[in-house]
Amino acid sequence: MEISIRSLVGRSSSIARSRIFLQGCIACRNSTLSASQPNINDLPVADLTKSQRKSILHHNKRSIQLEQASRRKELQIPLSRVYDDWLSTTGPKHVMTVAEHYGIFKDVLMDYPFFPTVNFGVEYPNYRVQWGNLISPSKTVARPKISFAPKHNDGLWTLIMINPDGVFIENQQESEILHWLLINMAPSTAIKGVEACKYLQPLPIRGTGYHRLIFLLCKQSREIPVPDQITDIADRSFSTYNFLIQHQDSLKPVGLRFFQSDWDKSVTTSFRKMLGMNEPTYSAQPIPLSKSRLKKYKHRNIYKNKEKLFRA
């Protein structure tokens, strides 16, 4: 009986698909280890070691109850636990790879990467910011809701929302547009913080393609002096790298989320009502065609000079 069950487990595609989920599910349920808060630029501390996970996976392969529940389609897998397990193990490395693919570290932090080890949520109405998903500007008019994992409810935080692809300010000195800046955030007090720069919806100008809207979360070692509130659109010219250098003793980037957005009609409305200016537009300039006539067999004999050389 034991041999037949092993063969069934090896053949069953449903069990093969559920092994990864069961591994994370049981790991989160049975884990008694506690991970300390990770440091910046360090890999996250896993709740279970690789050998412990391998033993759990080996146990699940031999479980008759799991095999029968999978065949009867009664096997329930809590995806929220699997997601949390992924974030606490290999998730930060995957997010870092995606951020490198989209050029975030290169364009924002001058090629200084970091491991986004702190999980936080950014949610618009009916839309959640992940890592590169598409959200239209009309869905991001209202400021998003920020949430933290329970283990990160202590200390102070800074949240920066920028657009490294938007350049519409006259005589703009920096390459980024600051859309939102929250300083001295305390998750234990319902995410209250000082709004140094009020929220501005994404404004991807027509003809400039998709823009990257980046949420960068920084851990504060102490309270930061609040700068003067930014009210003028010209003051939204921003450099995240220079800001972190200025506060390098008290700020460390630990979290990252971003989405992409393209032009829609709400962008034109926001320029007129919120900024009081006409929307700039961009269009591709056609390349002038060459007026020279094409010659038939322009290079009829490309070896003519070589023949003279060999004859000599």
Q: pLDDT per residue over 74-104, tens digit each?
A: 988 888 888 888 888 888 999 999 999 999 9
Residue bearing the bigger pLDDT, 300 or 237: 237
pLDDT higher than threshold 50 for residue 25: no
- Predicted local confidence at residue 225, as pLDDT: 86
pLDDT higher than threshold 50 for residue 37: no
pLDDT higher than threshold 80 for residue 172: no
Torsions phi, psi for 107 (to 5 deg): -90, -25
| 244 shares its domain with 144 | yes
**Paired tokens of 210:** 């998709």
| 172 shares its domain with 188 | yes
Q: 197 with 236: CB under 8 angstroms? A: yes
Is residue 300 a part of any domain in this protein?
no
The predicted-structure confidence for 128-166, as pLDDT tens digits, reads as follows: 999 999 999 999 999 999 998 767 777 899 999 999 998
Is residue 304 a part of any domain in this protein?
no
| 84 shares its domain with 117 | no
| 221 shares its domain with 204 | yes
Residue 35 CB partners (closer than 8 Å, separation 6+): 44, 45, 46, 47, 88
Q: Name the average pLDDT for the chain.
A: 79
| 85 shares its domain with 97 | no
Looking at the chain, how many residues does it have? Answer: 312
Return the residue matching tokens 């809701």. Answer: 145
Please give the Cα distance from 137 to 262 (Å, whole number).
7
- Tell whether pTM > 0.85: no
- Predicted local confidence at residue 311, as pLDDT: 57
What's 39's DSSP letter?
P
pLDDT higher than threshold 70 for residue 121: yes
Q: Rounded to the nearest 10 degrees, what angle do helices 13-30 and 79-88 cross at?
A: 70
Instruction: Count structural domains, the chain.
Output: 2
- CATH number of residue 112's parent domain: 3.90.280.10
Taking only Cα atoms into account, the Rg of the chain, rounded to an integer number of angstroms, comes to 27
| 37 shares its domain with 60 | yes
Residue 23 CB partners (closer than 8 Å, separation 6+): 53, 56, 57, 60
Please give the Cα distance from 63 to 295 (Å, whole number).
77
Q: Rounded to the nearest 10 degrees, what angle do helices 2-11 and 64-71 cross at?
A: 50
